[in-house]
Structure 1
């Protein structure tokens, strides 16, 4: 199976993530007991759409949701992979009440 040298289109993946987060959170206010459900829905939506677009990759989706209260946040990751075929993107989304950070990693099979 030929794997594209440049991997997947980051702009398409960012659009997928933003649509998943926007449709899940929209104008919601932060409600602590809803966070687990929101995270599950965002990750499930992202994975379904990604799996439909390119089946020669494995995906990892990470999602953090926190109250948008002006506090700082730092998220980082490290990896060892083939940079010709594997990559990642981190997308942040926020409204007046919620901050959501989603990272998507794709690895050629």
Structure 2
């Protein structure tokens, strides 16, 4: 396996950078439905820009969920059928008193 063609060695760095992106975009914002699309667009574009710098030989999927923090629970599940040695997924979470943010990134090799 060519490590340069694998996403798995980048998982920790991608998670850390994604958490930093979320924090920079959301900061201490309160949930505002009118702002959600702007936040999602900014987080998504900044993640994709960063991921292309990491390695542009992958296909990336970036999913962003922003929810108002209420008393109800929230569960998110995903599964993939892929090459576990090369492909990978990262989930970054951010919470503040008013909202939850979950960003899931899938990195899939093109080989």
Task: Kindly provide the CA deviation profile for residues 27-73 of structure 1, in whole angstroms up to 9, marking residues without a partner as x.
Answer: 10110111111111111110100111112211110000001123210
Q: Is the 8 A contact 1:3 1:108 kept in 2?
A: no
- Partner residue of 1:3? 2
- Partner residue of 1:90? 91
Relative to 1, partners in 2 of residues 1:66 and 1:106: Cα closer, same or farther, differing over 3 Å? Answer: same
For these two proteins, the number of residue pairs brought into alignment is: 108
Structure 2 residue 100 is the aligned partner of structure 1 residue 99: yes
Structure 1 residue runs of 5 or longer lacking an equivalent are none
Provide the TM-score with structure 1 as the length reference. Answer: 0.91
How many Å separate the matches in 2 of 1:37 and 1:3?
38
Q: Is the 8 A contact 1:3 1:56 kept in 2?
A: no
How many Å separate the matches in 1 of 2:41 and 2:84?
29
Structure 2 residue runs of 5 or longer lacking an equivalent are none
SS of residue in 1 equivalent to 2:105:
strand
Structure 2 residue 78 is the aligned partner of structure 1 residue 77: yes
How many Å separate the matches in 1 of 2:69 and 2:47?
22
Structure 1 moving runs of 4+ over 4 Å: none
1:1-109 correspondence to structure 2 within 5 Å: 3-4=2-3, 7-109=8-110
Provide the TM-score with structure 2 as the length reference. Answer: 0.89
* Structure number having the greater helix percentage: 2
